[in-house]
């Protein structure tokens, strides 16, 4: 996750060697000024898609759980 004073989002950062990373690409951002955190991603081989769960809410007290899917990761 990437957080600033006004916003937070979930980013994808790629590496082939765990030392050098490509630039951040936002993959999830809520429209309201809520904080997003604790992403958990699984590959579902039955549906051939990625499934992600993450929490959201106030900056220090997330009180909602969200679910998202993607075929491209």
**In the chain, pLDDT over 70 holds for what percent of residues?**
96
Residue 34 has pLDDT above 70, yes or no: yes
Q: 71 with 48: CB under 8 angstroms?
A: yes
Q: Judge whether residue 30 has pLDDT over 80.
A: no
d(CA 10, CA 66): 12
Rg (CA), the chain: 13
Could you give the CA distance from residue 4 to residue 28 in angstroms, rounded to a whole number? Answer: 15
Task: For the beta carbon of residue 8, count every other beta carbon within 10 angstroms.
Answer: 20
């Amino acid at each position: 996750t990437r957080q600033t004073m006004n916003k937070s989002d979930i980013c994808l950062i790629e590496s082939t060697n765990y030392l050098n990373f490509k630039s951040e690409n936002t993959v999830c951002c809520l429209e309201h000024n809520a904080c997003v955190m604790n992403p958990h991603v699984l590959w579902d081989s039955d549906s051939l898609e990625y499934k992600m769960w993450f929490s959201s809410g106030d900056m220090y007290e997330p009180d909602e759980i969200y679910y998202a899917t993607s075929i491209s990761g």
